[in-house]
Chains A and B, each alone.
Chain A
Amino acid sequence: MSDTHAAVEAVWRIESGRLVAMLARITGDFAGAEDLAQDALERALTQWPTHGIPQHPASWLMATAKHIAVDRYRRQLNLVDKLAAIAHEPITALSTEGDPMATVDDGLAASVPDDLLRLIFTACHPALSLDSQVALTLRTVAGLRTPEIARAFLVPEATIGQRISRAKRTLTDKQVRFELPSALDLPSRLGAVLAVIYLVFNEGYSATAGDDWTRPALCHDALRLGRVLARLQPDEPEVHGLLALMELQASRIPARSGPAGEQLLLADQNRRRWDRLHIRRGLTALQAAETLGGGPYTVQAAIAACHARAPGIDATDWARVSALYTVLSYLSPSAVVSLNKAVAVGMADGPERGLALADELQTHPALVAYPALSAVRATFLRQLGRPDEARAAFQQAADLTSNVSQRAIYQRQRDNPAPHVPKAAP
């Protein structure tokens, strides 16, 4: 890729959200605005390498999109004129509206935050499938190009292209208006936006060694989206809660694999490798979230913060972790939350209490054949001085997992007579 090409794409990543948002508000047509913006980008990609990058690239993109829009509008008017001539009847309705593009002004900066927020809510509209919401958000708000999204999600380019065109058609067909959700709808609509951002983050976070670098880069795309949203919706606790959770999880990335590329559990990670800048930003966002009231993301972030603040596994405030899991099990109950609570209780109140909770979960339908449950039980059994049962439980965990690296961990634990700290999450 040429330097100019890379420069165009950089300008695009910075400007695409604002550009599409402003065009969509002016035209009232999200799909059309997205097309216009993409057409302006294509012109930049052909013209800038030969004519050089303009002095004010953002204004150039906006002006170009306007010209394209005006051209199309005029062509439509011509068509209307021709139809009118055929019908021998004057048509005045359209011409009296004037040129809608005349209202475009690059100095409309004051309305940009609201435009951007409309854009995010539209891209994550419930009329769209989750896959489409993700693709549309990354393309319009984060300014990624279709091939980048395809590479990051390990799907063919055509698949992403189809998701985006289908999404735009759905928004047009269902006459979804380019607007902010009502106060009544806001909680669920905001929840959808947060879910999309967290999905992008987890897609990057779960990328394994050897994957294309664009996959882990998704973590940072999600973080930037989270930061953008925190600026746009500063009074929403869960916006800060999700941002805190992502920053704190990202802080552990440098420490989560060992010398041979094997996955390291929280207990085995070298905490000096945790990224301090992410931790600081995460704790700041968490404070904002807790001040505003919190929610499930905030509680998960608070748990992650307990680990981030602790110099080691034994110095962790397990009583607080366990209390937070109790809160989380009310706010968003799940079998995995219950299992993590059992781990925290075991660390806080001793292995006997932890094992009792873990044993209760053995009949839970979601945890039948769940390797982590066997591993947690095994760890508590070993701590309680029941080595034969511990070995059998680690073996069971190794048999249940289909993940090679995870199986190696369980086998190592099975053969390691020293008590091992159980796996805690998140």
Chain B
Amino acid sequence: MRYLVLLKAASAPSSPPPEDLMAAIMALGEEATSAGALLDTQGLLPSAAGTRVTLSAGSLTASDGPFTESKELISYAIYDVRSKQDAVEWTNRFMKVHRDMWPGWDGEADILRVFGTEDFPAPGNAPAASE
């Protein structure tokens, strides 16, 4: 099962993230990749560097960030795991290093299931064919 994890910050200390935290995040990412679970992850620039395209009542508008009304998206990660609980466990570990190494940082991570190969039925009564 494939999951997309979106990390959002609610509030962060004014100081930059400590080096220890960055090292721990790198180590955790390496661990999850070595376990075959983490397929992709990247950090995201603040929404000030982005643009929002809106469709409303038939008209399109593009407005540059920051998107003030919502929490800032910090990063995304894509996991291939056996159950949702596995994605929760990896995300817990990710949140714990923030808790332990960057006091004052608050945030949340949304774990969303991606439509994946297991959501498509296999052919009924099919042979072990190579197609």
Contacts and interface: CB of A to CB of B under 8 A. Distances in A.
16 contacts: A10-B83, A208-B124, A208-B126, A213-B118, A219-B117, A220-B117, A224-B35, A251-B117, A257-B126, A258-B123, A261-B124, A264-B131, A275-B117, A405-B124, A405-B125, A406-B129
Nearest to A274: B117
B121 interface: yes
Contact of A263 (B35, B37, B118, B131): B131
Interface of A: 3, 6-7, 9-11, 13-14, 55, 113, 144, 202, 205-211, 213, 216-217, 219-221, 223-228, 231, 249-258, 261-266, 269, 273, 275, 277-278, 281, 401, 403-406, 423, 425-426
Contacts of B39: 277, 281
A320 to B, nearest CB: 18
A263 B123 contact: yes
A337 to B, nearest CB: 11
Nearest to A303: B130
B34 interface: yes
Q: How large is the interface on B (under 10, 10 to 19, 20 to 34, 35 or more residues)?
A: 35 or more
A250 B117 contact: yes
A253 B117 contact: yes
Interface in B74-124: 78, 80-83, 85-86, 88-90, 96, 116-124
B86 A14 contact: yes
A13 B82 CA distance: 9
Interface in B6-45: 33-37, 39-40
B122 A226 contact: no
A83 to B, nearest CB: 45
B2 to A, nearest CB: 8
A45 to B, nearest CB: 14
Pick the most buried of B78, B83, B86, B123: most chain A CB atoms within 10 A of its CB.
B123
A269 B120 CA distance: 13
